[in-house]
Amino acid sequence: MGSSRPVSKQERGRRAMKAMKPLGFSSKLCSKVLRRLLELYDHRWALIEEDNYRVFAEAILDAQANGNGDPQPELEQEETDDFPAEGGPSTSLAAAAHREDPLGPPSPAPASPTSEQHVTTTELAISPRADLPPRARGSTRVLGKRRQRQTIDAYIQPEDEVFLREPKPEPVDMNCWDVQPGPIDRSPRGVASSSGFREPPPPQSDRNTKQIPGARNRTFQRCRNRDITSSSVEPTSSSLNNGTGSAVGNVQEAPGLDIVVASSATGEIKMSLKCSVDPSKFRMPALEEVFKMVDDKCLASSKVLPPDFSIGSLMTEICQCVLQLGTEHAVEHTTQPDIVGNGCRSEDDRKTKQKAAEELLVSNGSENCPVNSTPVQQQHLALSTLRINHDLTDISKAEENIRISIVNEFGGEKFPPSFYYMQQNVVFQNALVDMSLAKIGGEDCCADCFGNCLSAPEPCACARETGGEYAYTLEGLVRPALIDECVSVNLFPAENQKVFCETCPLERSRNKASPEPCRGHLVRKFIKECWSKCGCNMECGNRVVQRGITCNLQVFFTGEGTGWGLRTLDELPKGAFVCEYAGEILTCTEMHERAVENMQNDMYVHPILLDAGWCSELKDEEALCLDGSFYGNVGRFINHRCCDANLAVIPIEVETPDHHYYHLAFFTSKKVEAFEELTWDYGIDFETEKQPVKPFECLCGSRYCRGRRRHHPRKRNIVAAAAIGEEG
């Protein structure tokens, strides 16, 4: 090393073997490990040579511990290996050439492995291999190993604590990245452990440092865009992922996230983050800047830790900030054209997908119904492969007042799709939900009330929203007239008043530069519940939805082609509160991005536009949607039924008088028998041909099914009127 003339691979191999000789490893073992290290490190010798071949020595020890090494260290052993320790080439070197000799010219495929290939190689390299001989010795070998470790420590002379430097400001190369030791920095704070393995930094140490795993990593948990087991790194609801989640070979096309957890035989754990992005459009930001951004984001979304907080989410957030800052910097500092975002392969592709996603939101959003077949963001996408362990006795995991069991009487799938149960709405990232008490003026609460408002002689201020009459009866049911009115608004959208925004946030989210005119939003009836600034108590009859689910519900497999559904175990009268639709609160822009980025995915998501109270000009963070696909409550299981569904969905004002944000609550629109499936009318227009992703084929079974009739178009209103008429 260090000579001015390039050193040949053969020479470097010889030097490495020579360096190991005093440690007493057999040259056969050394050769084997060296070969694998070279594969692992993509033939980057510098990484192996660093620190007087520390990585090499430790890899040999690991190989021994894995049973991949020699039965007993030997100070001298006959040279039977590919790498001669000294002198001329070994006889086996040429013979080994056909097995991808690391010292020879690389064979075509491994010479430029794809990142995916590289990752695979890494994982193979660190797992005990079946093709290597098992451990031959027991306890005596342990002693030998310990001695060897001491020898290594003395030989390599650990100086200071070893940490990874801040990532180098150079493009991320998927082929280079993995668990390789990387460049080594020496910190004066460090203390080498007696074993010579580096101790992690003290808690107050500079957070710009990361521990080096070296080649000693033994096991890995790889979280590629959430493609992880539930016991490893949890996904987050508060992180945005621009990742493709697809084959690693796509990394040049869009950023991706990868979280790796690795442990070594000596008990070290490494968690590492990988953000991959087109290097030409990325410049590594300073870590301080990243941490500040993460801080800001976390503070912005919640002053206290949200219920779904996890370290995994934080790590993903960090990745995201690196990506965001890195790409922003790159744009600032280069004359490159804008990054082609959203995981699309080309600008054309991106436009096509964007258009398709726009259409989706247009066709469904304006009617406040779930977007069917909408692809989701890649990060969430990987949840489809993630098995969340649902509790069959209570899918809510005790988040609700009652247990909600899961049954499949048809056999087959035991569990519903994976998602995180969340009893309440939680902001995804940028949504602005202003719950400040200061915003609730005297006219928006009933500070003078006491006990149960419904028992007072006069309706309180909170009843103003419903015409000076409480929405709920003393029995806790929504008044029948109000229910009928809400159902009717859904069924006859055209005949009810619509508001038109000056510049519609929905249209802006689709095309900021030249948004199309607002297509109109339905004005819906709200129920305003008493809340914390009111004088009444939690048992007040005007607080129904906020007290949570009270009826006995069950998630069940319908067996009718509609997947899982929700049913009541009790008979319910008309107007009974069933549940909210809870999920992630997203801005329309975020929803739009999520849809565009995941256009090609088959997963169904069910965002609902919260546009019941929109009027005039809304800021982008004020136009909100709910998406219960990945984080949500039982509301996500309610299937669609055309026209004669037994649930009505009603907007509920609780914490904030402005109607940008509100709760969506399901109430029975008629009497429902025990064990009857609960359904609501998503409002999908099955007749429209303009939706790029076909709506599901409706199997609601209603005689007024609009899906069934889409080949024999009829006026929706006629069907709806018939349904209502029949209900009486």
Ligand X SMILES: C[S@@+](CC[C@H](N)C(=O)[O-])C[C@H]1O[C@@H](n2cnc3c(N)ncnc32)[C@H](O)[C@@H]1O
Of residues 50 and 681, the one with the C-beta less far from ligand X: 681
Min dist. Cβ of residue 669 to ligand X (A): 16
Q: Which of 53, 472, 564, 704 binds ligand X (CB under 6 A)?
A: 564
Min dist. Cβ of residue 682 to ligand X (A): 7
Is residue 220 part of the contact set for ligand X (CB under 6 A)?
no
Q: Which of 24, 520, 548, 563 binds ligand X (CB under 6 A)?
A: 563
Min dist. Cβ of residue 222 to ligand X (A): 28
Is residue 698 part of the contact set for ligand X (CB under 6 A)?
yes
Min dist. Cβ of residue 322 to ligand X (A): 34
CB atoms closer than 10 angstroms to residue 657:
17
Q: Are 55 and 162 in contact (CB under 8 A)?
A: no
Of residues 507 and 677, the one with the C-beta less far from ligand X: 677
Phi, psi for residue 259 in degrees, rounded to 5:
-115, 130
Is residue 364 part of the contact set for ligand X (CB under 6 A)?
no
Min dist. Cβ of residue 707 to ligand X (A): 7
Is residue 45 part of the contact set for ligand X (CB under 6 A)?
no
Is residue 637 part of the contact set for ligand X (CB under 6 A)?
yes
Q: Could you please report the per-residue DSSP string of 344-373?
A: -SSHHHHHHHHHHHHHHHHHHHTTT-PPTT
Q: Which stretch binds ligand X (CB under 6 A): 104-112, 168-176, 500-508, 562-570?
A: 562-570
Q: Which of 640, 660, 663, 706 binds ligand X (CB under 6 A)?
A: 640
Is residue 706 part of the contact set for ligand X (CB under 6 A)?
no
Min dist. Cβ of residue 648 to ligand X (A): 16
Nearest to 321 by CA among 281, 343, 289: 289
From residue 479, give the alpha-carbon distance in Å to each of 272, 470, 573, 622, 673.
56, 8, 11, 30, 19
Beta bridge partners of 672: 572
Of residues 206 and 413, the one with the C-beta less far from ligand X: 413
Q: Is 211 helix (H, G, I), strand (E, B) or coil?
A: strand
The H or E element that residue 200 is part of is: none
Q: Which of 372, 374, 377, 669 binds ligand X (CB under 6 A)?
A: 372
Count of CA atoms in the C-beta half-sphere (13 A) of 629: 28
Of residues 463 and 608, the one with the C-beta less far from ligand X: 608
| Lookup: tokens for 366 | 């304006």
Of residues 594 and 640, the one with the C-beta less far from ligand X: 640
Residue list 598-617, contact with ligand X (CB under 6 A): 604, 606
Min dist. Cβ of residue 719 to ligand X (A): 15
Min dist. Cβ of residue 140 to ligand X (A): 58
Of residues 276 and 374, the one with the C-beta less far from ligand X: 374
Give dist(CA 710, CA 688) in Å, integer: 8
Beta bridge partners of 186: 162
Min dist. Cβ of residue 498 to ligand X (A): 25
Min dist. Cβ of residue 376 to ligand X (A): 12
Give dist(CA 554, CA 547) in Å, integer: 19
Residue whose CB is nearest to ligand X in the complex, by number: 563
CA dihedral 355, 358, 360, 362 (to 10 degrees): -130
Helical segments of 370-459, H only: 378-381
Min dist. Cβ of residue 232 to ligand X (A): 25
Give dist(CA 655, CA 531) in Å, integer: 7
Q: Which of 209, 490, 562, 601 binds ligand X (CB under 6 A)?
A: 562
Q: Which stretch binds ligand X (CB under 6 A): 26-34, 249-257, 460-468, 634-642?
A: 634-642
Phi, psi for residue 175 in degrees, rounded to 5:
-70, -25
Nearest to 375 by CA among 603, 694, 588, 583: 603
Of residues 564 and 661, the one with the C-beta less far from ligand X: 564
* Count of chain residues binding ligand X (CB under 6 A): 19
CB atoms closer than 10 angstroms to residue 304:
6
Of residues 536 and 608, the one with the C-beta less far from ligand X: 608
Give dist(CA 125, CA 259) in Å, integer: 19
Give dist(CA 581, CA 586) in Å, integer: 14
Nearest to 261 by CA among 233, 234, 227: 233
Is residue 508 part of the contact set for ligand X (CB under 6 A)?
no
Give dist(CA 303, CA 310) in Å, integer: 15
Q: Which of 250, 696, 706, 723 binds ligand X (CB under 6 A)?
A: 696
Of residues 350 and 636, the one with the C-beta less far from ligand X: 636
Q: Which of 69, 196, 343, 417 binds ligand X (CB under 6 A)?
A: 417
Of residues 70 and 681, the one with the C-beta less far from ligand X: 681
Q: Which stretch binds ligand X (CB under 6 A): 127-135, 350-358, 447-455, 635-643?
A: 635-643
Of residues 372 and 601, the one with the C-beta less far from ligand X: 372
Q: Which stretch binds ligand X (CB under 6 A): 255-263, 432-440, 691-699, 717-725?
A: 691-699
Min dist. Cβ of residue 490 to ligand X (A): 15
Min dist. Cβ of residue 679 to ligand X (A): 8
Helical segments of 108-167, H only: 108-111, 115-126, 139-156
Strands (E), 535-629: 553-557, 564-568, 577-580, 584-587, 608-609, 624-627
Of residues 165 and 708, the one with the C-beta less far from ligand X: 708
Is residue 631 part of the contact set for ligand X (CB under 6 A)?
no
Is residue 419 part of the contact set for ligand X (CB under 6 A)?
no
Q: Which of 174, 212, 700, 719 binds ligand X (CB under 6 A)?
A: 700
Min dist. Cβ of residue 637 to ligand X (A): 5
Of residues 220 and 637, the one with the C-beta less far from ligand X: 637
Give dist(CA 609, CA 399) in Å, integer: 25
Residue 369: what residue type?
A: C
Q: Which of 636, 660, 670, 706 binds ligand X (CB under 6 A)?
A: 636
Min dist. Cβ of residue 470 to ligand X (A): 30
Residue 216's region, left for phi above 0, alpha for psi from -120 to 50, else beta, is alpha
* Contacts of the segment 709-718: beta carbons below 8 A, 24+ positions apart: 710/686, 713/687, 716/685, 716/687, 717/491, 717/492, 717/494, 717/495
Q: Which stretch binds ligand X (CB under 6 A): 247-255, 388-396, 542-550, 633-641?
A: 633-641
Per the listing, tokens 């690389």 go with 106
Give dist(CA 632, CA 496) in Å, integer: 30
Q: Are 638 and 678 in contact (CB under 8 A)?
A: yes
Beta bridge partners of 598: none
Of residues 248 and 609, the one with the C-beta less far from ligand X: 609
Interior CA angle at 423 toward 422 and 428, to 5°?
A: 50
Q: Which stretch binds ligand X (CB under 6 A): 331-339, 461-469, 514-522, 559-567?
A: 559-567
The H or E element that residue 234 is part of is: none
- Applying CB under 6 A, which residues contact ligand X? 370, 372, 416-417, 561-565, 604, 606, 636-637, 639-640, 696, 698-700
